[in-house]
Structure 1
Amino acid sequence: MVTLRDVAGHAGVSVSVVSRVLNSDPSIRIRPETRQRVLESARLLRYAPNSAGRSLRRSRTHLLALVVPDVTNATFTDLVNGVESRALDHNYSVVLASSPRMQPGSDGFTRLLSERLVDGVLLQKGDEAPTELVARALSHPERTVLINSGPVSGVATIAIDDVAAGALATRHLLDLGHTSIGYVGGVPTSDTSDRRRSGVEQTLATAGLALAREHTTALGYTYRSARDAARLLLSRQPAPTAVVVGNVNAGIGVLTEATQMGIGVPGELSVVAIHDIWPAITCAPALTTIRLPMEVLGATAVDVLLAGLETSDPGGNGRNGADTTSRVIDDPTPELVLRASTGPPPGA
C-alpha cells in the first residue's frame, strides 16, 4: 500500500508537506509548482488515504445508518437512493437496517451511536410506533434525524407534504365529477395517514362535501390489510364511487379486492394511491398515483444530519447536534401520475 512517505519521496518534499497538501490545509505556504508536484505524485502512485486512521483522529467513522421499517418495501427505494447519493457527495457511506432489533429502544439501535459504529442515524419509524414514544427512546437524539415523522420536540424531523398529496389526489377525483369519495388509510398511529387524510378532508370541504365516516378505514398500508379495508368499505351501501388510498401498496390491494368483488375499475370505482412505484404500472388497470419527492427527502435529511455533526463538539458527543426544526419538503411538490384506474363516476 502506498503511504504518505512514498508520495513525499517521489515529490521530493517532507511527509508533513504531503499531508497538509492532500488535506487542503489553507495555512500551508508553498509554491504552486510544489503543490502541483505533490498532487501529481499522489495521482501517479495511486495514493489512497487511510480512512480508518483519519476517522480515529477525527472521532468520525464517515458512516451513516438509514433505518427503515422494511427494506423490501419498494416505497423506500427512492428514499434510499436520495440518502446514498447525497452521503457519497460528502464522502460518507450508508448502512441500511430494517429488522425489529434495530428500532429505537433496542440494543442494536442503541449500539449504533453509543459505540460510535456510525456518526448519525436517519430513521423512518414504523407506522405502528407513536412518534413521541420513538423520540423518547432515542439514545442520541442530537445525532438522529426522523424522516417523514413528527414534528416532535428535541429531534430534527424532515417530512414530505402529505397534506398536499392527499389534496391533489382528491382534486383529481373531484375534477372527474366524483362527489362520493372514500379514504383507505394506515393504522391509527400513522403520522403520514393522518396528514394525507387531512388533505382529503380539507379539499372535500372546499368543494362543499365531507368525508363520510362509513367511507373511511384505518387498517394499515399493507396489501393484505388494504384488501380487507376495500371489502369492508365497498360492501357498505351506498358505496363510494372513488377512493384515495394512503399508500401505493395498499392501492394495489384495493384494486385486487375490487376485482374479486366484481367491481369494475374505473367504470364503477376510481382508485388513486399516494406514492409511485414500478408495480403500479403492472396492475390491471394501471394504478393512478401521486408521486412524492422521496429522493429529495432523503438528500435533505442527510444535509440536516451532517450540518448538525459539523456543529457538534470535536469529541463527537453532539452537544449541539442537528437543527431540531421540523421541515416539510415542498419543492418539488407531489405530482399526479395519471393512469387507467381513474375515470368519471358511473353514468357520467
Structure 2
Amino acid sequence: MTQGRVSLQDVATEASVTSSVVSRVLNGDSTVRVRPETRARILRAAEKLNYRPHPGARALASAQTRTVTLLIPDLTNPVYARIARGAMKVASREGYAVLISEDTATEALPYRQLADPGRTDGLLIASYRPGHPLLDRAVIGPLPHVFVNRLHPGSGRNVTVDFEAAGREALLRLAEAGHRHVAHIAGPAELPNSALQARAFAQAGVQAGVSVELIPTSLSEEGGAVATRALVEAESTVTAIYVGNYFQALGVLDALERAQWKVPDRVSVISFDDDRTASFLRPPLSTIAMAHDEQGEQAMVALLHQIRGGASQDVLVPTPPRFIDRGSVGPPRSAESK
C-alpha cells in the first residue's frame, strides 16, 4: 500500500507508463498521443489510488500561483478585516489563497515585486490614493487587479459600497430628528470616497433645508478630535455631527467629552461605518452600517473573472446602507424646549 500523499509517479507505476504521460492525460492535454486503452488505464489507476494533484505542482503546470493579494492601508482597521473575510470566503471556494499586505511602501520597487505574476495571480487594491505607484502601467503591467473600497475614477475596475447613499441616509436621519444646522467631519477632499459622500450629504442638506458645514480632515482619531475641537473653540451652533469613518468618530466623542458637550443632549453624533464595539462606547454610537463582507466577496468574484480572461468592470454592492440607532442621535435642544 502506498503511504502518505499519492504521487504522479505512483499512478504512472500502477498504469505502467511514464509520469509525464500521466500528467498530460490527467491535465487534459489534447496533444498527447496515447491509445484509448492506455488513457483508460491511467484514469483507472488514478481513481484506484485516490490521486489528488499537489496544489503547488498544479500551479507550476498552469503558470498560476493560485493566490491573490489584498493590499490594505491599515491592518488595524476592522473594515478591512471584514473585506478580507468576504474575499477569503470566495477565494477558498474557488481554490485560491489570499495573501494580505499592508501598504507602507514609499517607492515603486516593492510594488513591482508585489505585482510580479510569479508571486500572485491578481491584486485587490484597497489602498488607492492619487499618484499611487500601482496606477503606473509600467509597475502593474497586465496583472489582473480590482480597486476595492477605494474608488479609482475612470479605471473601470472599482468594487465599492454606495458612499453617496450613506451620506444621504445620514442627512435624512438627522433631518428627521429635527436638526437644521449640522457638520460633516469628512475625510480628505482628494479621496474620491470622501468627496462623494460629502457631496451627497451636502446636496441632501439643501433638499431638506438643512445647513451643512463640511470639515475635511484625516481619517484618524486625531483628525476627528482636531476638527471637533475647532467646532468647540468657535462655539459652533451645530446641533449634530456626521463623521466620515469610525476612527474619526472615536476622536470626535473624546473631544466632545473633554469639552463637556454631552451627546446627544448638546450635539448628536452619527458615524459612517459600523463596528461591534460601537455598543460599548459611552454613549453608544449610532452608525451607518455598510456591507463590507459582501464588498469583499464581490471584489474577489470580479478579480477571478479577470484572471480567467474576462473583462474588468465597475461593481456597486447592491445592499443599501443601514442606520443602526444606539441613541447618540436625538432632537436638537431647541426642539426639546418647545
Give the Cα separation in 2 of the matches to 1:245 and 1:332: 21
Give the Cα separation in 1 of the matches to 2:25 and 2:117: 32
Alignment of 1:220-235 (within 5 A): 220-235=218-233
Structure 2 counterpart of 1:120, one-letter code: G
Partner SS, residue 75 of structure 1: helix
Partner SS, residue 189 of structure 1: coil
Residue equivalent to 1:261: 259
Residue equivalent to 2:214: 216
Residue equivalent to 1:317: none
Give the Cα separation in 2 of the matches to 1:110 and 1:11: 45
Over aligned residue pairs, what C-alpha RMSD do you find?
A: 3.0
Give the Cα separation in 1 of the matches to 2:142 and 2:24: 35
Q: Percent identity?
A: 26
**Deviation for aligned residue 1:10:** 6.5
Give the Cα separation in 1 of the matches to 2:30 and 2:329: 60
Q: Is the 8 A contact 1:80 1:298 kept in 2?
A: yes
Can you list the C-alpha shifts for 1:136-188, whole angstroms capped at 9, x where unaligned?
Answer: 36522652211123343445121210000111111111111111111001122
**Deviation for aligned residue 1:23:** 5.4
Can you list the C-alpha shifts for 1:17-57, whole angstroms capped at 9, x where unaligned?
Answer: 97688658999989xx99996675354xxx44222222122
| Range with greater deviation from structure 2 (291-300 or 14-23) | 14-23
The structure whose Rg is larger is: 2
Q: Is the 8 A contact 1:168 1:336 kept in 2?
A: yes
Residue equivalent to 1:161: 162
2:172 counterpart of 1:171: yes
2:261 counterpart of 1:274: no
2:315 is matched with which residue: 327, 339, 345? 327
2:333 counterpart of 1:346: yes
Give the Cα separation in 2 of the matches to 1:267 and 1:141: 55
Unaligned runs of 5+ in 2: none
2:111 counterpart of 1:109: yes
Alignment of 1:1-348 (within 5 A): 1-7=5-11, 41-43=48-50, 47-101=51-105, 106-114=108-116, 116-125=118-127, 129-130=129-130, 135-136=135-136, 138-140=139-141, 142-154=143-155, 156-211=157-212, 215-311=213-309, 322-323=311-312, 325-329=313-317, 331-347=318-334, 348=336
Residue equivalent to 1:315: none
**Deviation for aligned residue 1:231:** 0.8
**Deviation for aligned residue 1:209:** 2.9
Q: Is the 8 A contact 1:183 1:216 kept in 2?
A: yes
Give the Cα separation in 2 of the matches to 1:327 and 1:190: 19
Give the Cα separation in 2 of the matches to 1:263 and 1:62: 53
Instruction: Compute the TM-score of the two structures, normalised by the length of structure 2.
Output: 0.85
> Kindly tell me: are residues 115 and 19 of structure 1, through their superposed partners in 2, closer, same or farther at Cα, counting changes over 3 Å?
closer
Give the Cα separation in 2 of the matches to 1:83 and 1:221: 24
Give the Cα separation in 2 of the matches to 1:132 and 1:50: 37
Structure 2 counterpart of 1:59, one-letter code: A
Structure 2 counterpart of 1:265, one-letter code: V
Instruction: Compute the TM-score of the two structures, normalised by the length of structure 1.
Output: 0.83
Unaligned runs of 5+ in 1: 312-320
Give the Cα separation in 1 of the matches to 2:204 and 2:41: 66
Residue equivalent to 1:314: none
Give the Cα separation in 2 of the matches to 1:175 and 1:11: 75
Q: Is the 8 A contact 1:125 1:149 kept in 2?
A: yes
Q: Is the 8 A contact 1:217 1:233 kept in 2?
A: no
Give the Cα separation in 1 of the matches to 2:260 and 2:254: 10
Q: Is the 8 A contact 1:84 1:94 kept in 2?
A: yes
Structure 1 counterpart of 2:328, one-letter code: S
